[in-house]
Structure 1
Amino acid sequence: MTKAEKIQKIQEILEIKNPKENLYADLLKTMGDLKNNYGDYMITEPIDCDEELERIPKADYELCTALLTMLLREDHFSNGSFERRFAEGQVLPVLVRMKDVLSAGV
């Protein structure tokens, strides 16, 4: 998938503003960016999602995809956490950063 196609897919999800985690998992899978090894990108042990999310402003594309995967995995273990984080404004900034990083490279 090209950068332009990824930007378009991310923009579509941003416009929907839906907190259902399956949309975000499908997005990462479709783009080939779901990180099964997301823990390799994290700097906290055990993983502290709140601290990891503070890295968004300087994150590269790969870290962003790992952060989004982290949020999806957190929901797997703590059902409902993704929707809570979405409501608190912690999900969409990851997508915005992904789009911005991709756009800078187009």
Structure 2
Amino acid sequence: MTKAEKIRKIQGILELKDSRGDLYVDLLKTMGDLKTNYGDYMITEPIDCDEELERISGADYELCTALLTMLLREDHFSNGSFERRFADGQVLPVLVRMKDVLSAGV
């Protein structure tokens, strides 16, 4: 998938403003960016999602996909956490950063 195609897919999800985690899983899978090894990108152990999310502003595309995967995995272990983080404004900034990084390289 090209950068332009990824940007369009990310923009579509941003416009939905939907907190259903399955949309984000599907997005990452469709783009080939679901990180099964997301822990390799993290700097905290055990993983501290709040601290990891502080890295968004300087994150490259790969770290962003790992952060989004991390949030989705957190929800797997703590049902409802993705929706709570979405409501707290912690999910969409990851997508915005993904789009911005891709756009800078187009």
Give the TM-score category using the shorter length: over 0.9
Deviation (angstroms), 1:25: 0.3
TM-score, length-normalised on structure 2?
1.00
* Distance (Å, rounded) in 2 between the aligned partners of 1:19 and 1:79: 13
Name 2:94's counterpart in structure 1. Answer: 94
Structure 1 residues without counterparts, runs of 5 or longer: none
Distance in 2 between the 1:64 and 1:18 partners? 18
2:5 match: 5
Task: Please show how residues 18-57 of structure 1 align to structure 2 within 5 Å.
Answer: 18-57=18-57
Give secondary structure in 1 for the equivalent of 2:89.
coil
Displacement of 1:14 in angstroms is 0.1
| CA drift at 1:28 | 0.1
Q: How does 1:78-89 map to 2 (within 5 A)?
A: 78-89=78-89
TM-score for the superposition, normalised by structure 1:
1.00
Q: Give the % identical residues.
A: 88
Determine the C-alpha separation between the residues in 1 that align with 2:88 and 2:25.
19
C-alpha distance in structure 2 between counterparts of 1:32 and 1:19, whole Å = 21
Where does structure 2 lack aligned partners over 5 or more consecutive residues? none
Number of residues of Structure 1 aligned to a counterpart in Structure 2: 106
Deviating beyond 4 angstroms after TM superposition, the runs of 4 or more aligned structure 1 residues are none
Deviation at 1:13, TM superposition (A): 0.1
Coordinate RMSD, CA, aligned = 0.1
